[in-house]
Amino acid sequence: MRSRQRMFAAVMRLLLKCLRLGRRRRFKLVRQVEQLWHYGHLCLRSLLYNSFTNGDVVLDSLFEPIYWLVDHVTRWFGVVFVALVIGLTSSIVAIVYICLLPLILQTYTPAWICWHLAYGHWNLIMIVFHYYMAITTSPGHPPQAKNNLTGVSICRKCIAPKPARTHHCSICNRCVLKMDHHCPWLNNCVGHYNHRYFFSFCLFMTMGCIYCSISGWEMFRDAYAAIERMKLLEKERLQVAANQTYYQTPPPTFSFRQRAFHKSVVYLWVLCSSVALALGALTLWHAALITRGETSIERHINRKERQRLQKKGKVFRNPYSYGSWDNWKVFLGVDVPRHWLTRVLLPSPHLPHGTGLSWDLPPCVTEQRAPLLAI
């Protein structure tokens, strides 16, 4: 009896010892896994840590494949976009001359006819001139020689001097002076030498679309109602043709000229209204940027700099802003009062102030610029 008890006690002690060893080994394995995890996490953070990393940097990294695709696709489809702009604009002009102008000459008073002819042709000339200049004018590129520039940074893609307000365009694969953005509808960058042409084209195109939409509203309503009547009469004609007898005649049909006229008026109004809304919003956005004396790229840079300095109790001042009114004068190249007529309301190929390499105070600015930082 005692021998059995001793044997049972020995077996139990051996079992408890095995359980203890198993627990120690299991805890040791868990500790090793935790140590490896913390070590790998620390190594990863040490390799990828950057004090400037934030949500914007992470989003830019995630969207890098999309940026690459847009850069390469836009480069090849720029010609298609330019042809599309020219084709749509030409179609609107053709409809106005073929369909609307004869109707205006027959129904409007002489005063209204003169106003429509004068304003319409002036607006058309301004659109064509500024679009042509925006496409053909180079935005400006910095020279490659380092001895021609002082106090500039180096572009990490071009490995060349980069003046102030200059940025690298990944689509053109070149640095652009005072770069605003690359416009696929121009197949060109918007920079120092063609920024005014781009904005003027957007402004006058928006004005022309609004003019066509307002002037053609009544014609659009009549044409839309006529098209609806066409559909109803066509439906009735098909029903009569299916059940035609010797005593029934089909309803009269519209001629091809009438159909083309009404559909052209509807096409003109819908296209002009859509472009007026979309391009008008873009024009207002760029007008706000010009008022603040900054480009689209500089807006994001200045916003981040403003937030950074705000945490330090400082206020950011844009060094390239001379005040709202002076910013517009500098942008449009208005030096004397008569330039508002000769350089703004009439086609003018004058160059902007400066060379885009340095930013001295323009002669049209009366007040000194504000300091960059103010406590």
- Residue 255: which domain range? 61-357
pLDDT over threshold 50, residue 278: yes
Interval 165-186: pLDDT, tens? 999 988 888 899 999 999 989 9
Give yes or no for a contact between 135 and 187, defined as CB atoms under 8 angstroms apart.
yes
User: Which are the catalytic amino acids?
Assistant: 183
Chain-centre distance for alpha carbon 126 = 22
pLDDT at 44 over 80: no
- CB burial readout 155-170, b (16+ within 10 A) else e: beebebbbbebbbbbb
The total number of structural domains in the chain stands at: 1
Residue 350 scores a pLDDT above 90:
yes
Residue at 5 is within a domain: no
Residue 325 lies in a domain: yes
- Residue where the block lists tokens 């640095």: 175
> Residue 73 domain-assigned?
yes
Taking all residues of the chain, what is their mean pLDDT, rounded to a whole number? 83
- The verdict on residue 374 lying in a domain is no
Beta bridge partners of 182: 189
pLDDT category at 250 given cuts 50, 70, 90 is: low
Q: Out of 24-38, 163-177, 333-347, which region has the weakest mean confidence (pLDDT)?
A: 24-38
Give Cα 148 to chain centroid, integer Å. 33
Q: Which of 47-61, 96-110, 233-247, 264-278 has the lowest mean pLDDT?
A: 233-247
Evaluate whether residue 372 is within a structural domain: no
| Residue 190 counted as domain residue | yes
What does the pLDDT average to over 145-174? 79
pLDDT: is 369 or 310 the higher one?
310
**Is the pLDDT assigned to residue 2 strictly greater than 90?**
no
- Residue 142 resides in a domain: yes
Q: In this predicted structure, what is the pLDDT of residue 357?
A: 85
Rounded to an integer, the average pLDDT of 2-13 is: 66
Q: Is residue 30 part of a domain?
A: no
* 3-class state of residue 334 by DSSP: coil
135 pLDDT tier (thresholds 50, 70, 90): very high
Going by DSSP bridges, is the β-strand pair 174-176/167-169 parallel, antiparallel, or unpaired?
A: antiparallel
Contact present, 371 and 314 (Cβ < 8 Å):
no
pLDDT range class, residue 373, cuts 50, 70, 90: very low
Please, what is the Cα angle at 269 between 263 and 273, to 5 degrees?
Answer: 150
